[in-house]
Amino acid sequence: MHTIAAISTPQASGGIGIVRISGDNARTVAGKVFSSVSGKKLDEIAGYTSLFGSVHDDEGTFDQCVAANYRAPKSYTGEDVVELSCHGGLYLLRRLLNACIAAGAVLAQPGEFTRRAYLNGKMDLTQAESVMELISAQGKGAARAARAGQEGRLHDKICAAQEQLTAAASHLAAWADFPEENVPEVESGTLGTQLKEVQQKLRELLSGFDTGRVLREGVDTVIAGRPNVGKSTLMNLLAGCEKSIVTSYAGTTRDVVEDTVLLGGIPLRLADTAGLRDTSDPVEQLGVLRSRSRVEAAQLVLAVFDSSEPLREEDQQFIEMLGDTPAIAVINKNDLQSRIDNSYIQSKFKQIVYISALQGSGLKELQNAVQQVLHLQSIDPTSGVLFTQRQQAAAQRALAAVNEALEALENGMTLDAVTVCVEDAISALLELTGENVSETVVNQVFETFCVGK
């Protein structure tokens, strides 16, 4: 395999920039562009140690450099790796990369370092995908989940399910070969129990996919309600800064203001909408129209009400407009005397929280309510969750095959029929971990990576 090189730090100026080289000739390539102050060569030092020196090309020395040495197989890729750390100017890094290419390396493809790590058995496909997630994680929850994935938590879960299926399949095979010996484990009761356990595991895994996606992408959230109930104040409280204009006159928040905030580790992509009410002001009308379509398209609506006033007809119209969109009734201004009719709201919303956006109370309850409506409460992001649609599709195929196997068993079909389904399930799980997967799929996974990772 070629020795590859790429700039592994962002394509922008920074304090430090790194060119990573991986492959059989990594030290040879690095040795042609790097000279140490001590005179030592990379071949003379152990793995996980470094040399200080400078880098040069045909035109001379152009920067100081630390060369870190990693020996196969104890490196990220599993091959010999050298990381050259220089000053992080883009000009310098490109010059260094060109020098490495002149010295015999080829430019790495997107994700090629991680792809080699996968091909060399340093990680499975779910771990490689987690690397990608880890890089792009925006919130703590997403980062924790990605790290768990990279550590192989998801891999372990899938393997456990797969081992159970393999055990079932081998019992089935033994029975098929020696039917007269009456292999006891194949007694359909035991087999059924085994399959149901796997079915349960896969269902849990699949329900975790939504959590993974929520943590990664955030929840499209709309703060809505009639004017003056405190939407902008709530928005500001959540955002922790002055994003929308807060005034005590009705109808001033005309446009949609957006911000991503973290509520208990869940990224909410928030929009504060213009007051939802009938208006003749054309500018305001535009804002109202936009907010209606936003509410319909949202994944979550924080429906704000003013507890210091009786419910108005506009509030009721607003509630009717919510339709099926998951919504939380946020009854604001609970620092004031309550005059709102709670029973009507209770009949319309499953989740109700009382807050004072002005005083900043009730956020914890709001956070719990968000987890409840989005069904996030029961899933621990560090237990290994499905991240990508590729993973989800493979897990779905495995579950469908297990369901079919159980059906065949219950309908008294031949054990051959059951065996076929179990084998299908195993092959879907092998595809999930990347142990048995087509080159096309592998290419698709690494296509989304950046060069240098």
Structure tokens at 43: 């071949």
Nearest residue (CB) to Zn ion, 3 versus 236: 236
| Closest separation in Å from C-beta 260 to ligand GDP | 19
Residue 79 to residue 23: CA distance in whole angstroms? 5
Min CB(329)–Zn ion separation in Å: 18
Residue 287 as a binder of ligand GDP (CB under 6 A): the answer is no
The answer to the question of residue 332 lying near ligand GDP (CB under 6 A) is: yes
Looking up tokens 């469908």 gives 400
| Least gap, CB of 274 to ligand GDP (angstroms) | 9
Instruction: Give the shortest CB-235-to-ligand GDP separation in angstroms.
Output: 7
Please confirm whether the linkage preceding 73 is cis (ω < 30° from 0). yes
Q: Does 167 bind ligand GDP (CB under 6 A)?
A: no
Residue 115 to residue 329: CA distance in whole angstroms: 47
> Among 86-94, 246-254, 294-302, 350-358, which window interacts with Zn ion (CB under 5 A)?
246-254
Note whether 233 binds ligand GDP by CB under 6 A: yes
Binding residues: 20, 83, 122, 228-233, 247-253, 272-275, 453
As separate numbers, helices (DSSP H) first and strands (DSSP E) second, the chain gives: 15, 13
Burial label for 43, CB within 10 Å (0-12, 13-18, 19+), is exposed
* Widest pairwise Cα distance in the chain: 86
Give the list of residues 6+ apart from residue 108 with CB closer than 8 angstroms, or none. 4, 5, 6, 20, 22, 451, 452
CA distance 274 to 245: 11
d(CA 196, CA 177): 25
Size, binding site for Zn ion by CB under 5 A: 3
Residue ranges of the binding site for (6S)-5-formyl-5,6,7,8-tetrahydrofolate: 20, 83, 122, 453
Residue 55, H or E segment? strand 49-57
Nearer to ligand GDP, 50 or 361 (CB): 361
Binding partner of 356, given Zn ion, ligand GDP, none, CB within 5-8 angstroms per partner class:
ligand GDP
Residue 248 binds to ligand GDP (criterion: CB under 6 A): yes
Query: Rg of the chain over CA atoms, in angstroms?
Result: 29
For residue 223, the surrounding DSSP H or E stretch is: strand 219-224
Contact between 273 and ligand GDP per CB under 6 A: no
CB of residue 254 to ligand GDP, shortest distance in Å: 10
- Binding-site entries for GTP: 228-233, 247-253, 272-275
Contacted entry of Zn ion, ligand GDP, none for residue 160, CB cut-off 5 to 8 Å set by kind: none
> Using alpha carbons only, what angle is made at residue 163 by residues 211 and 441, rounded to the nearest 5 degrees?
60
In the list 22, 162, 199, 253, the residue contacting Zn ion (rule: CB under 5 A) is: 253
Minimum gap (Å) between residue 248 Cβ and Zn ion = 11
Residues at the site binding ligand GDP, with contacts judged by CB under 6 A: 225, 227-233, 246-248, 253, 275, 332-333, 335-336, 356-358
